Structures are given as structure tokens and as C-alpha cells.
Amino acid sequence: MPVELHNITWEGVRLVQIETPPHHIAGVLSTICETLKSSDCEWEDVYSAYYNSEEDGTITFYEGESMEAGQPGIWTYVVYDCDLGQEEVVTNLDIDTLDPALKLRHIVAEVIAVITLSNPVEQVQKLRDIATANGISPEILLSSKTESQQSKSKHGFNEAASYVLEKNAELYRRLA
């Protein structure tokens, strides 16, 4: 019988919960960065994400605080194939699912604080320091900085252009 877990229906698999390794937190962060690149979302708008690691046969789910999500946390499972009708989820109540989510939230808060610095050399160094301290590839954090700055400058330009067009609408009408 199919299993419903983290808003996905699983068929023909057995999921066994394990501790979330640091590189999976980095994988979730990378997934969130990719989402931010392709949308108008901000960090605070992301309530769920997942990272599928084919190298070690695991999948990691992130759920943030929201009305729908229930308990926030990060869950990692080893995925095994099984016969249809034999699906199951083996959980481990000794695993703290909130701690990795808090770690991810702390990393995001640090990145947002660094992005506000005016010195770009200092920004890059601080992002590298955050990445090293958390076992994350610096490229993930550096790309989040670049994307966030591009997003802010794009929105800033659009807002400024709209303001100028609105303020000068009467002038443009008369000139026409």
C-alpha cells in the first residue's frame, strides 16, 4: 500500500530514517537557492524543500514553520526498493529533526546579515567563513549572495522606473 510522507506518495520503496549529515543541509540550502533564482520568493517564503542524493541513496526533506507544515524540521531517509504493498517508513524517535532545521535557519540568517555589508571583499570572506564553519561549499553561499543582490537590484530598478513613469505620466501625456 502506498505511503504518504512529506506530501509525496511513495510506491515500491521502504524509507529508513537516519541522522541528517551536514552535506544534506548544504543540499537543501542549494535547492532553496535554486528556487530563489527562478522565482520572486524571499528566504522567508520557502516553507519546504527536498534534496535527493543519488550518491548515497538518500532523500532529505525540509519543512519550515507554516500553518500547513506542522512541525518544522529536517528529515533524512535511506531509500530502499521493495515490492508493491510492502512500503513502509521506519522512523527513529531518537533523531532530532529540529536541530538541522535550526542550523539551516541560522546559516540563512548569517548570509542575509552578510549581504547587507557594503564592502564586497568583506562579504565574500564572511560567506566563505560561514561555509567553512558549517561544512558547506562556499559556491553555494556565494551564488545565494549574487542572486539576492541581482534580485534586489532588479526589483529596485523596476520600482524606480514605475515611480518615475507614474510621477511623470501627466508630462508624458502633454508631450504626446
Give CA–CA dist 16/33, Å, rounded: 27
Place of cell 567563513: 129
Enumerate the domain spans of the chain.
Answer: 3-175
Give CA–CA dist 138/133, Å, rounded: 10
Q: How does strand 13-18 pair with strand 88-90?
A: parallel
Q: What is the DSSP letter of 166?
A: H
Reference 80, options 18, 29, 38; nearest CA is 18
Spatial strand order of the sheet with 13-18 comes to: 48-53, 58-63, 73-81, 13-18, 88-90
Q: How much is the pLDDT for 153?
A: 41
Q: How much is the pLDDT for 136?
A: 79
Q: Is the torsion defined by CA of 68, 73, 79, 84 positive or negative?
A: negative
Q: How much is the pLDDT for 148?
A: 43
Q: How much is the pLDDT for 33?
A: 79
pLDDT in tens, the chain (176 residues): 888 888 889 999 999 999 998 888 888 888 887 888 788 877 777 888 899 998 899 999 998 876 455 678 899 999 999 999 999 999 999 999 988 988 888 888 888 788 777 788 888 888 888 888 888 777 776 665 444 444 444 444 455 555 555 655 565 566 55
Q: How much is the pLDDT for 76?
A: 95
Q: Could you give phi then psi for residue 81, rounded to 5 degrees?
A: -75, 145
**pTM score of the predicted model:** 0.69
Q: How much is the pLDDT for 29?
A: 85
